[in-house]
Structures are given as C-alpha cells and as structure tokens.
Structure 1
Amino acid sequence: MKLPVDRLAALGLLVFVAACGHTGESRPLTALAAGGTVPATGPAAAYPMVLGEPFAIDGVTYTPADTMNYDRVGYAVSGPDGGTAVTLADRTLPLPSYAEVTALKTGRTILARVERRGPMTGDNLVELSPGAAAQLGMTDGRAPVRVRRVNPSEPERALLRSGQQAPERMDTPMSLAAVLLRKLEPDAAAPVPPAQEQAIAPAAMPSLAEPKAATAPAPQVSEPKPVLATSKPAPKSPTPRANPAAPGNRVVVQVATFSNAASAADVAKKLGGVATPAGKYHRVRIVGFASKAEAGAALAKARRAGYSDARIQRAD
C-alpha cells in the first residue's frame, strides 16, 4: 500500500528540482555576463594606476613612485602627443594621475591628466599636449612651470578623460610665482615690476618742495621755515598729501597681484577689498586703516585665505 505514495513523493521532488533549474537559467549573474561594457571615460578608466620599472634618460635614472605630495618647479615643453585633450607626460607620477600646472610668468593654473612617460630627452620636467599648452597660454614651446599633484573631484576627472577642459583654476598669486621662478632663474626679474613702480612713484616727487622754496624769500619771519624744509621735511613731503585724502586710509593691506582682472575682482570681493589696475596687472588691497594696528586683523584674514605674502604698506 505504501508503493503509490512513494511514487507520488518522488514525482513531486522531480517537478520542484526542474522548476528551480529553470528559474536559475533565466537570470544573468552580472551585467558583464549579459554582455555589458565599461565606458572608456568612466571612473573605472582611472584604475589600476601604473608605475612601471625604473628607466634612464641621458644617464639619469628615474624611478616612478606614487608620491601624493609631489610639488616641483621646472620647465614644460609642448609635444605632439595628446591632441586637444588636456594631458601631460611625466617621468615618475603614476599613470593615470592628476596635476595642477602653473605658468610661473603669468600665474595661470590649469588641471591636467598625467597619461604618458616623458619627456624622453633633455632635462625638462614635463611635456604638455597641444591642448594643455594652449590652455596654459604657452606660445613659445617652453616655459617655467610648477607641477603639483592633486586629487580633483570626479566631475573634473570625467571632463579630462573625455578630452575636455576642467573648469579654470584661480590664478596663483604673482608674489608666490616670483619666488618659485627665482628657484629656476635666480637672475630673473620679478614678474610684478609694474605694481612696484607705481608704489614707489609718490616718493619720487620732491618737486612739491620747490613751491615752498619759492615762498622762502618772502621778507617776513617765515624765512626760517625754508631752512626746515630743506633739512628734514623734504623726505616727509608725501605725508601732507595723505592727510587731505582721508585720515583713516594711511595704510593698506597689499594682498596679491593678478594678471587676470576677473580673478582679482573675485578675491577682492571675498576679502572685502578693492581691485585696482597697475600696468598690465591688477592689485588686490584691503583699505581704510589709519595705522598698522588697525590693519592687523585684515592682514591675518588675507593670510588665512592662503595669501602668505600679504603685507601692510603705506597708501599711495
């Protein structure tokens, strides 16, 4: 009597196993199993990073390394590789990685993707693609630069991977660029002489003392005054000019000098200062102080914002 029951149980088990097998076959395990692909410009295109073995160029051995605080100055040259994409060739940085490149004679800074090894001759630091050289404003094929490794956001990485430019960086302060440039070219003139010439100009105006000399011959008791004007007050002639202007504006905080007017205006707005043209450059200053003590807080604010070369000076 138990034989029919056993047959029914075995038949039910067989049907259950068949149903499970059919369900498993109709569902792919992964997107790749279903024929999916990884976009060439997606985040996966940044991995794995490649270092490679040490190699020699002109008798010098270079060892690629994953150095996060890479920050060097040297010369960049423009090469044929990379086309319009903003990329560069470096001898030791991981491939791929990302770096900010600053032109030390203009302060202009761009974000580039490190994709190749190079330059393969000479002692230049990096080789820029035509697209990177154009964005940096390099016209003569070789320029002094600062190369600093950075970790940009994924949207910026995606733009560079797809051959587009990342958003413009804020210009590097010319005071800092001048210091870095002197490491490469000790005899090079600082790239901010137009601003300095205007600052010195008021001191070179002793002609204001001449009107006093003209009144000196007056036959009154005021004759001793020209003696004082020729001995000590002559160098102090700029001081009377500052008083009529504004007693509360005798000193200013010189923040930085920029080659780009828009960048100068942006920094001035953030720090509560003013941007004024100085030749082909634009100076950012915080004004309205009667003494150095009053300007101390504004100086500290500018330095906290990253402008370590900010200083207090007399108003023009």
Structure 2
Amino acid sequence: MRSPVNHALPLALVAALAGGVAAYAKQSPAPVPVSGPAADYPVVVGDPFQVGGATFTPEDRLNYDAVGYADVGAAGGTGISAAHKTLPLPSYIEVTSLESGKTILVRAERRGPMNDRLIELSPGAAAQLGLAGSARPAVRVRRVNPPEQERAMLRSGGRAPERMETPKGLLDALNRKLAAGTNALSPKPAVAPASATPAPAATATPRSAPSATPRPLPSAAPKPSPTPKPSPTPKPTATPAPAAPAPAPTTAAAPRPAATGSQIVQVAAFSTQDRANAAAAKLGGQVSPAGRVWRVRLGPFATRAQADAALAKAKGAGYSDARIQRAD
C-alpha cells in the first residue's frame, strides 16, 4: 500500500532557506569606505600624451614649482580641486594669484587642461582664490606635502586654511619670471630657457678672463724697469738691480683686488626658510633674512671673474634672476 506524499513540505523548506539567506545578508556589514592617508592611494602617474602637437610626460616630481596661466572652471570639478598635465593624481599643490598674492591649497584629481594653460581650477577653487570671472589669471603652482588633516578637508569637498600672503618682493619676482617666459606652459619652451641659460655664462667667462690677465702683466712690468733706485747704485754691485723688481710686482698687484671691491651673487628670495636652505645647500651659498623673505647669496668674491663664475653656476641651476651685487 503506497503512503501519501506531502507536496507542501519541499516548498516550505525552500522558503525557510531563502528567508535565512536574506536575514544573513541584512546582518552582514556594508563595505567601509576608505579614509585617512589610504584614500590618496594608489597614486596614478600615467603615460605621455599630446596636446596641440606637444608631448607631456607625467612624472612624480616632488619639487615642482612653476608660473603660468590658469583656466577657471572650464571642465567643472568638485570641491577645491584642479586638473594638471604632469603631476601625479592625486597630489596637493599651493596655487598663488600673481595679482593679489593670495595662496590656497588645492587637490589635483584629473588630467588637463587640454590647452596651453598651466592648470585648470574647479569653480570652488577659483572662488576661494578670488579668480572667479578672470579671463586669463596668472598663477604660481607649487607641489606641497600638507598634513593629513588638510588632505581630509579637501577629500571631503571642504576648504583648507588659506596660506600666508606672498610678500610683494617675491610677487614681483614671480611676475618678472612669468614675463620672461622662464617657466614654460609646454615642453618646447621648457627646454629653451635651460639651453639658453649657459650661453650668457660662456660669454661672461671670456670677458672676465682677458680683463684680469692684462692688468697685472703690463702694469707690473714697466714700473719696476724704470725705477730710479737701480740707476744710482751700479758701482757697488749689479746684483741689487734684479733684486729690486721682485718686490715691485707684489706691491703693485696687491691693491687691485681691493679696487674691484667685494662682490656677491644674489641667487633668489624665498618665502620659507626651508626652501632657502635647500637652494643654499645645492649651490654652496648662505641664507640671510630680509624682512618676510629669505635670501640666498653666493660669495663674497674678490674679483669680477669669480663672481661671474658663481653667477653662471646659479643660472645653470635654473635661477635665471640671479645677479651680481656689491656686498653689504
């Protein structure tokens, strides 16, 4: 005799299993969003690309510091962010208005701008810097390493505290740098100043060499020969006559370094002492405070030839505004 089959039992079992799975899914925690320093990783550098026939190669350059022109909110962007052609993504940069001297902290999050501008600011960043409505604002872009607290502010769409205003002296120097085209907005001009910088140094060295060579020789040779002292003493001996010219060149050449005076090479002025110390260590110079800036100098030098050589060294290192001055 066949026993009756309960067809409702399998359906009840399937429903119970489905309810258990749903209950487990509700109890499992949702994925926690990444926060803290890990939110800035991985850092993307990227491959070279072309804009308007010029090739740009992204690189992880820690000491990036350039002047140029900015686009204001052309491609959107949220929070206080920016687009840059070569800096790693993300990275943090200080943007300074070369008109007002105001400086803010910005997070570079995307590639761009796809034109000849140096940087593209989000509408929020442009408003914080006071550039809203500007057609072609001139800016300075400098990569920095801010504390995690300020990084978190920018990641969450907020604003980091504004930096100290740029001193007028440094602001004038940055505007002269922009007018001279020292910092390029594309790779082609960037190479031009570097190759053109040694040329003045090469021409300055030959000029100083001939000027230093003829001074001691012609002036020292005629003076000892017609001295009246050997003429009245030929009777005792002829040996004192050659001995007399020997001290004459030393006394004649001694005043010449003093006549040129002590000279120094003014390399650059920096808004922070750390950057001034780094430049001084690189060139072998000294750092001295001057108001709200720190000056880097080479010297002093006793001759113009030494000062010219130091000036060529400073310009070869990229400080095109370096110049020779008389020591204070």
Instruction: Tell me the TM-score normalised to structure 2 length.
Output: 0.47
